[in-house]
Chain A
């Protein structure tokens, strides 16, 4: 099956053959032939964003909520450089993307031509892999290969840089027979011997804990189902990273909540005090481990990861299993069932009693107010009023993100889209655009801060153009809240440049874009206002005026271990808890 066509036509045909329905992009000189090819067909729908960073985040939201590969199309030079933040974000959070960039004609590469940038050079460090297409003969193979590389193994972004003369050139298109790369073969099946050894450790554990991450989500819904099965079979407690929320139902008694810097008391203490840690698809990030030399000192550790370089990178483990979460979990469930081990019931009971004691501390409690809306309360109400709906949540980055992670309960995977690794302010709104496209009937809410939202505010236009009824729920405290919190705790309350001065009127701004604006500053009226937002079948910006000084707890301060976390009631003297070295760090 081969046909002669231009490079630009090959690009569009390859997208069709890969089953791509939506791409996010912005036209420009070096991609005009591809835009022309898009014009002549209807199978691939192009979503015009307002900034290339928005295109990549939208594709991330689309990919993360649907399990498909997100596709981006941007022009050369500034088009490509604007995409860099999004690509880095996707690399850090392992989101499968294919980003097509235009390039100046091959004979002009290196001449500092108009809108020329060394795109493969610039994106080499922020992609899983990238290509510069120099011959039309290579284009079909590279297009198909890119989808394979993006989606297989540890997922990530792939850039294909296509010079304009290659887009015009004529060649033979080859359909994907198998998408495989000629040598890239990620290991998906875990080592059987190690899996048996892991189950043997689990069978003897007295104080075990599952610590799960975004790898479970990336592995697909099957992995979440298998995780639930294994956790229920064993009866062990489970905690999750920010990226892994939803893989295990938050309402389940075995779930201890999120762990890490702003994780729950019970999750962090369970990690600290466990005798066996079973890490499934998480990567011992520094926001999780706190001080490494005091991290879970008395435990044996099992680590399941598809990326061999994640194993023993930050934390030395006893059993490292390279493989895809779903495959390994399937084997673990089978081995556990066939062994049906005699677990130490008395020890486990004691462990659970200890955990329930920590739970009783009620670490997420906050002081309620009748006069001002507490940000935690706002997220709680948003959750209560939307939980029976088909709801997807994206966030920006900062305090609101942590409160969303703490107070919004996710029962299913792929419902929670947030920038975890890179921490990109401005992620949530474009991501919501992508999510809404993948799930047209769902309720999609971007829980935002008033500072973050302004970073990619322009994507409201995109939402309006495509009639995407996304809801932007701004916790407006007139501060870059997380920066202010750190300045309060570490820098003597000198709020250097963290006040959001000259804020726009978000209600008018929503209206200016053609959407609907809602403002609420009264806790008594909050429920009605949220209901009004939900019932509005158009894009909404909800300006939720919240307590300006609320801080995000619990918190593991700089320089401290999991068992030294701070709770809300000691907030007053937190400044004295962090030492000099801690102040140097974020």
Chain B
């Protein structure tokens, strides 16, 4: 099909990239970034944000996104031209970054199910933050895959609620940002 507008590009391989974006912690900055992604049709798989340098009012936003090489380049360029953005760092290009997230899981059950939940939690190295006669709240920190596996296991043991932080990431090696 031909059109004055370009045809949709042929399917190109998608890649997952983790971006660390340093921004001024000013009102609306998160809306600006999230709005850029929705407005231009980019994906967000995970987004975490917190002020990291209080004196300088700097926040670090970690975004996990998926796209073709062309789209990833556009995302970085579009982020880079936002006025409050200091720097855009592609941790995936810099090498396999360290990526961790934290999950809280509430598990409810009795008897054998409860014992199994406890055993699995120990196997995964999860911490028990709260316990009642019929429930646990576990905390697990790890890579996304590990957390996915833990959640899958716990589903069979009476999982009722999950809360996840999304990914915090950092490049390996001696070099700082």
List residues of A whose CB falls within 8 A of some B CB: 120-121, 124-125, 128-130, 132, 134, 149, 153-154, 181-184, 261, 286, 289-293, 307-309, 311-314, 556-560, 579-582, 584-586
Contact = CB atoms under 8 A, between A and B. Distances in A.
B83 A184 contact: yes
B6 interface: yes
A129 B4 contact: no
B6 A125 contact: no
19 contacts: A120-B28, A121-B28, A124-B35, A129-B83, A154-B81, A183-B24, A183-B84, A286-B4, A289-B6, A292-B6, A309-B77, A312-B70, A559-B4, A560-B2, A579-B1, A579-B2, A581-B1, A582-B4, A584-B3
Interface of B: 1-7, 24, 27-28, 31-32, 35, 39, 70, 73-74, 77-78, 80-84, 86
B32 A124 contact: yes
A290 B2 CA distance: 10
A585 B2 CA distance: 10
A286 B6 contact: yes
Nearest to B86: A183
A580 B86 CA distance: 47
Nearest to A153: B81
B2 A582 contact: yes
Contacts of B27: 132, 134
Given A124-B32, A183-B24, A582 B78 contact: no
Contact of A125 (B2, B35, B70): B35
Contact of A124 (B2, B3, B28, B73): B28
Contacts of A289: 6
Secondary structure of the A contact surface, majority rule: loop
Contacts of B78: 309
A307 B7 CA distance: 25
A559 B2 contact: yes
A313 B81 CA distance: 14
Contact of B4 (A128, A308, A314, A560): A560
Contacts of A149: 83
B41 to A, nearest CB: 13
Given A125-B35, A132-B27, 7 more contacts: A124-B28, A124-B31, A292-B6, A307-B81, A312-B74, A559-B2, A581-B1
Given A124-B28, A312-B73, A585 B83 contact: no
A558 B77 contact: no
A436 B5 CA distance: 37
A579 B24 CA distance: 50
A149 to B, nearest CB: 6
Contacts of A556: 4
Contacts of A292: 6-7
Given A183-B24, A309-B74, A286 B31 contact: no
B5 A293 contact: no
Contacts of A286: 4-6
A290 B3 CA distance: 8
Nearest to B82: A129
B83 A181 contact: yes
Contacts of B70: 312
Given A128-B83, A183-B84, A559 B77 contact: no
Given A308-B80, A312-B70, A293 B6 contact: yes
A585 B4 contact: yes
Contacts of A293: 6-7
Nearest to A315: B6
Contacts of B7: 292-293
Residue with the greatest number of chain B CB neighbours at <10 A, chosen from A129, A183, A585: A183
A292 B31 CA distance: 32
A556 B78 CA distance: 30
Contact of A308 (B39, B77, B82): B77
Contacts of B2: 291, 559-560, 579, 581-582
A129 B28 CA distance: 11
A121 B4 contact: no
B86 A291 contact: no
Given A128-B83, A181-B83, A309-B80, A585 B5 contact: yes
Contacts of B31: 121, 124
A243 B78 CA distance: 22
Contacts of B86: 183
A558 B28 contact: no
Contacts of A557: 4
A275 B163 CA distance: 57
